[in-house]
């Protein structure tokens, strides 16, 4: 299994829809998890940090399932501006905690 | 969120010249900074990890003599692309992190074009 895996998509959803992405990770000792969004030709921007079971911020909810080793990102009431690539990041445990990125999931929200 | 600046945002240089890119954490002290490269429609690729006061750790396949990294202080890291070639043209992005389990904050990136 790759260290961090994401379905590349694209996920094509209408405005107002609810969409969820999963990210699986291989290192069971990982302690922190992050979701970033990256717009085309821009740098990644932090969307959410997850340290325990989950986190919620407005329309965005992240959940961590340690038993199955995945984190999910749920976006409710999708907006056109949510169209982006969503990156899952899991720092490797031990030593320097090098962040490992998933390949990203592309989301396209259409009118 | 924390702010990371990167300069220059865009640079065009001739083949064989060197280019220096600066990365600064503006409102926090970064124990670790990372340098990434991203080609169009591809994933971010980690080039090296830089800790203040120590030598950078390069990922496999990244030439340390070509991509010189200096982490002079807890708020500044520089990447110098030496003897640049057209294949070095890419989007270079730095990030900074306070502690090992903390989130990274990314600079806005530098688009390098080597002619």
Task: Tell me the pLDDT tens digit for each residue of B21-41.
Answer: 999 999 999 989 999 999 988
Q: Give me the pLDDT at residue A104, please.
A: 94
> Which residue of B lies nearest to A37 if distances are taken between CA atoms?
B106
The answer to whether A64 and A89 have CB atoms below 8 angstroms apart is: no
Q: Give me the pLDDT at residue A95, please.
A: 61
pLDDT in tens, A44-75: 999 999 888 889 999 999 999 999 999 999 99
Q: Give me the pLDDT at residue B110, please.
A: 97
- The beta-carbon neighbor of B101 closest among A31, A42, A45 is A31
| Closest-CA distance of chain B to residue A67, Å | 20
pLDDT by residue, tens only, chain B of 115 residues: 679 999 999 999 999 999 999 999 999 999 899 999 999 888 899 999 998 888 899 999 999 999 999 988 999 999 999 999 999 999 999 999 988 888 899 999 999 999 9
CA B97 to chain centre: 13
Q: Give me the pLDDT at residue B69, please.
A: 94
CA angle B45/A95/A86 to nearest 5° reads: 35
The series of mean pLDDT values per 10 residues for chain A, 111 residues long, is 86 97 89 93 93 90 93 97 96 74 94 96
> Which residue of A lies nearest to B59 if distances are taken between CA atoms?
A98
Measured distance CA(B30)–CA(B45) in Å, rounded: 20
Measured distance CA(B19)–CA(A18) in Å, rounded: 45
- The beta-carbon neighbor of A46 closest among B49, B93, B105 is B105
């Amino acid at each position: 299994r790759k260290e961090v895996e994401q379905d590349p998509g694209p996920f094509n959803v209408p405005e107002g829809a609810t969409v969820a992405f999963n990210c699986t990770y291989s290192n069971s000792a990982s302690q922190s998890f992050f979701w970033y969004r990256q717009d085309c030709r821009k740098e990644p921007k932090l969307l959410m940090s997850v340290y325990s079971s989950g986190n919620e911020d407005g329309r965005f909810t992240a959940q961590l399932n340690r038993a199955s080793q995945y984190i999910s990102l749920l976006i409710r009431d999708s907006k056109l501006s949510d169209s982006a690539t969503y990156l899952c990041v899991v720092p490797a445990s031990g030593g320097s905690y090098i962040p490992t990125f998933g390949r990203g999931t592309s989301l396209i929200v259409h009118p | 969120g924390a702010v990371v600046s990167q300069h220059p945002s865009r640079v065009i240089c001739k083949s064989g010249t060197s280019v220096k890119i600066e990365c600064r954490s503006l409102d926090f002290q970064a124990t670790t900074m990372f340098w990434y490269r991203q080609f169009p429609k591809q994933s971010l690729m980690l080039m090296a990890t830089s800790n203040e006061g120590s030598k950078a750790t390069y990922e496999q396949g990244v030439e340390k003599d070509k991509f010189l990294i200096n982490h002079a202080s807890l708020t500044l890291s520089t990447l110098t692309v030496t003897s640049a070639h057209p294949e070095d043209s890419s989007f270079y992005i730095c990030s900074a992190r306070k502690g090992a389990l903390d989130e990274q904050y990314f600079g806005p990136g530098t688009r390098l074009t080597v002619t």
